[in-house]
Amino acid sequence: MGKIKLTERQIDIVARLNDDIYTIDYLEEWLNRNDNVYINAPAALSAMGASGFYCAVAAMERLEIMQEQAAESGASAEENPQAAVFGEPPAEEKQEPAEPVKPAKQPRKRNNKKLEVKENENDGL
């Protein structure tokens, strides 16, 4: 995996989140570390936390880009928030109802007869 470098938009998102631990400097320091948990567990766990936070920031960045693209295409977030984000058709367009689903076969009932316990001839020995 190549070296991770924060984009300007990601830096802006991190600044807006204003987290006490995951600052821009912290992420830049810990994102590209390759520590082994058996050799240096605290460093590996710190790098793992920074990586998880970075994944969330990258997802927020993608969402913002999709929202901007939807706004440019004319989708109104107030009228149809899903269309603004995901490009879905407007809510006014109704779809045909789906065919009812046939219920699955019920499992067979178990035989609840009690087993007869035979006494062993050798029990008295």
Q: Over the stretch 63-110, which tens digit does the pLDDT of each residue have?
A: 999 888 888 877 555 555 555 555 555 555 556 777 777 777 766 666
DSSP class per residue in 51-106: HHHHHHHHHHHHHHHHHHHHHHHT--TTT-HHHHHH-PPPTTSPPPPPPPPPPPPP
- Angle, alpha carbons 33-35-41 (nearest 5°): 130
- How much is the pLDDT for 119? 67
- SS3 for 34? coil
The model's pTM: 0.58
pLDDT digits (tens, 9 = 90+) for 4-13: 899 999 999 9
Query: How does the average pLDDT of the chain come out, rounded?
Result: 79
